[in-house]
Amino acid sequence: MAAQARVIVFCGKGGVGKSTLSVAMGLKLAQAGKRVLVVSSHPLEELAVAISLDNLAERFPEAAERLFVVYIDPVDQIRDLVETHFPLPMMARAVLNSSIFQNLIAVAPGLKEFFFLVRMQQLAERRAPERVNIPAYDDLIWDAPATGHFLSTLRAAKGFETYLTGPLSNAGAEMHRFFSAAGSMRIAAVTQPEEMAITETHELCEGLRRDFGIQPSTIILNAVSPVCLAEPEALATLDFAGSSAAMQFAIERGIAERELCDKLAVELPIRQLFVPRLAQGDGPPEESDLDLLEDLGHYLDLEQLA
């Protein structure tokens, strides 16, 4: 096993499917025999509303033993630090319950993001504290928050290196080097073929390039229509005149999506990976969600994320 886990980041505008794709990628890798940790940007209760993993152990027993999904609460990390450095529990509780501590957590710029990244780097480098019961794994998948929050989280490490001194500055410098290293992670920018999401993809790529000197290795165009994916010869045979109003609308939408994807490829010459719009089944939610995750996995080629 390598000294460091492979890190795969799914980032982009909120609502474009990052969480679902992250878990689908995790399931695919776990089915292939890898031990996978998915770090969710949502508390697990919220994630369960979006995508259910109920019955995972029954449906995919071997993969379930290798797939772990966690949520990192930075406030908990800060509390752990305080408790570790105060030998007397009573003193630690006094600090944690003080208004000064509560206000510091609320207003200190970048503090929560900094501690989130500390734990992320620990997990990626397999240096998690002993009390954190996470087995060794091969891949870490970060279901990153929406673009603005994602970039500000990465900037936190750079800010601690630039503006502070001492241990926090050293930790910030180490994290900034880790998260800016092209070899440390594979970044997939997730978008959908619509104007707002693509505009935010431009902002994401510009922020990564300007502040960290890195770019996504892949742009995942998620939930694209069959028309968008059709071969030019097939499009030429479409009969607009003989189609219903609903079909005409679908065709026109698909053509518009195709034009947006082509324009994006010119403006951002980054490899594109297309994931079609898939419908969930008619069965119970837990079964339909597992079917969807498995189906999505067929379109997530890890080599294209390299």
Query: Bigger pLDDT: 241 or 252?
Result: 252
- Domains of the chain (ranges plus CATH)? 6-305 (3.40.50.300)
How far is 133 from 120, CA to CA, in rounded Å? 15
Kindly indicate the confidence band of residue 62, based on its pLDDT and cuts at 50, 70 and 90. very high
- In sequence order, which residues have a C-beta less than 8 Å from that of residue 151 and are 6 or more positions away? 204, 207, 208, 211
pTM (predicted TM-score): 0.85
How far is 201 from 190, CA to CA, in rounded Å? 8
Strands 139-146 and 6-12: parallel
- Mean pLDDT, rounded, of the chain: 82
Question: Is residue 43 helix, strand or coil?
Answer: coil
Kindly indicate the confidence band of residue 42, based on its pLDDT and cuts at 50, 70 and 90. confident
How far is 9 from 214, CA to CA, in rounded Å? 13
148 residue type, one letter: G
Span 199-243, pLDDT tens digits: 999 999 999 999 888 899 999 999 999 888 888 777 777 766 667
